[in-house]
Structure formats: structure tokens, C-alpha cells
Amino acid sequence: MTTIQGELAPIWLSADGGNTFKLLVCLETYDVGLSTTVNQTETNCGIATGLGAIKFIPKGSAVLEANPGEDEVTYKDMLDWQLNKTLLRFKTEYPGSGSQYGQNIALSGDCYVTDTGGTFQVGQVIKFSFTLTGNGTVSNQPL
């Protein structure tokens, strides 16, 4: 079995429609939840199930980087994007787009920052949490 380490599939965000991406730096953990809207109707023929849109809600946590590079996203960017209601392009994929692994792991779509939170604890590094709420469709093809 060949495993892939989590840090090899980071989150990238773009505020310019996908022309340039910035790395979400010091990422601790993240989850990309996908859920399908389900509509069911009971009939005399049984239950009829309709499937609606697929929702995607990436969320996670990271450590605050005091001096991020120009190509790195940190807490201040997330706060600015949330306050300004900026539409972002999200992507995560195993390095080597088009490879077997890139094809299996790739996820992307447009989203908004809809939740942020900072954790400021004595004796600990500053951490922040984030939630991105998808807008439109999600793709599993590498960008």
C-alpha cells in the first residue's frame, strides 16, 4: 500500500478567479465535506428520490504566520475576504496534476469565507479556524 501524507495536498486559494493562487500556510488540519441535497416523495409505487445540488464546505485550522510571503494566505487574508464577501477559487490536489494521485484527490470550486475564529491561549501559538462555503459546482478534476 502506498499512502499519501496530508501535508502533500495543501489548500490553495485565489481571489482573482483562478489566475494566481496563494498557499494556505501553516495548515494544521482540514476537511472538505461534500453533501448532496436529497428530496424524497412517497408514492403508491414506493419512494421516489431526487438528487439536488452537491454542497461543499471546506473547513479547518491553521497556525498564524507572523510574516507570510506574498504567495501565502494567513488569518488576515481570511478575515479580509470574509468581511469583503470576496468570491474565492479553492483547490486542493496531490502534487503532479494529471498523475494517478492528482486525479484521485483533486477538488476545486468557488467559495466564500463564511466563518473565521482565532484561538489566543497563553503558552500556545495563535491558531485560527475557517469555513469556506461553496458557490456553484465542485469539480474533482485538477486545475
Q: Which three-class secondary structure string do you get for the chain?
A: CCCCCHHHCCEEEECCCCCCCEEECCEEEEEEEEEEEEEEEEECCEEEEEEEEEEEEEEEEEECCCCCCCCEECHHHHHHHHHHCCCEEEEECCCCCCCHHHHHHCEEEEEEEEEEEEECCCCCCCEEEEEEEEEEEEECCCC
The CATH number for 13-139, chosen from 2.20.25, 2.30.110, 2.60.40, 2.40.160, is 2.30.110
pLDDT at 8 over 90: no
Average pLDDT over residues 53-65: 94
What pTM value is reported for the model? 0.86
pLDDT (tens digit per residue) in 67-110: 999 999 989 999 999 999 999 999 998 765 445 544 567 899 99
